[in-house]
Amino acid sequence: MNLEYSIFEGLKVHLSIGGSSYFKDKQEVAKSQIIVGTLGRIKQLIDERFIDLFNTGLFVLDEADRMVEEGFRSLIE
């Protein structure tokens, strides 16, 4: 299954979700300008330094209010 989609030539987008290959995620993240993923997988990639937030221009956390309500506040912080 191909989880990648690009709307602009040369723009690399990677979908990183639980259940997909973590090995592939680590490789594709390094080559991608946009990374979309679940909170847990993105946090794992950040913790293991495959995503560097210092060099990130924009970080969007969708439905953060719901995640806080459901007890994920420490994970978000």
What range does the domain containing 49 cover? 13-76
Does residue 46 belong to any structural domain of this protein?
yes
Of 4-18, 22-36, 43-57, the poorest mean pLDDT is in 4-18
Structure-token match 């090995």, residue found? 23
HEC letters along 5-65: CCCCCCCCEEEECCCCCHHHHHHHHHHCCEEEECHHHHHHHHHCCCCCHHHCCCCCCCCHH
Domain count across the chain: 1
Does residue 1 belong to any structural domain of this protein?
no
- Please report the pLDDT score of residue 66 as a whole number: 80
Does residue 33 belong to any structural domain of this protein?
yes
pTM here is 0.70
| Mean pLDDT of the region 3-22 | 77
User: Which pair of structure tokens corresponds to residue 20?
Assistant: 């997909």
Does residue 63 belong to any structural domain of this protein?
yes
Does residue 60 belong to any structural domain of this protein?
yes
Whether the Cβ atoms of residue 54 and residue 45 lie closer than 8 Å to each other: no
